[in-house]
Amino acid sequence: MPSKPRSICHCGKVAVQSGQHCPCAIARQREARAAYDATRPSASARGYNAEWRALRSKYLKANPLCSHEYCKEQATEVDHIVSIKNDTSLRLNWSNLRAYCRHHHSQRTSREQGFAKSRL
């Protein structure tokens, strides 16, 4: 089966294969990401400080497996059940935490907070 023909980039200069990006598109994405990061508060300012890191470490030791149904992968992420944006008082509350593998944490984040395209 033949592959899809090349398409013209938004800049009009480069023909790229399907599923790939031209250098100008990659540069635009980098610039947009840098502009967003410049306005974003630091992790510490968002509540992810030494106190959080210690709690996260203890939680992962107590809950080493992903809490997603049927998943038996090692948990590497600790997720807030109720987002700390919605209720900061639950930030360090053990009962508001859930352990996930990276894959399931990314799915949950994209689905519930809309940060990325869902991979479901």
Nearest-CA neighbor of 101 among 57, 53, 60? 60
Rounded to whole angstroms, how far apart are CA atoms 51 and 70?
A: 31
Q: Residue 78 has what pLDDT?
A: 97
Do the beta carbons of residue 16 and residue 22 sit within 8 Å? yes
- How confident is the prediction along the chain (120 residues), in pLDDT tens digits per residue? 567 777 777 777 666 776 677 888 888 889 998 998 899 888 888 888 999 999 999 999 999 999 999 999 999 999 999 988 888 899 999 999 999 999 999 998 888 776 554 444
Number of structural domains (the chain) is 2
Same domain, 68 and 25: no
Q: Residue 118 has what pLDDT?
A: 43
Same domain, 34 and 79: no
Q: Is residue 120 part of a domain?
A: no
Taking the whole predicted model, whether its pTM rises above 0.75 is answered as: no
Token pair, residue 23, equals 């250098």
Rounded to whole angstroms, how far apart are CA atoms 54 and 49?
A: 9
Q: Residue 2 has what pLDDT?
A: 63
Q: Is residue 118 part of a domain?
A: no
Domain extent, residue 11, equals 7-39
Do the beta carbons of residue 90 and residue 84 sit within 8 Å? yes
Q: Which residue has the tokens 């510490």?
A: 44
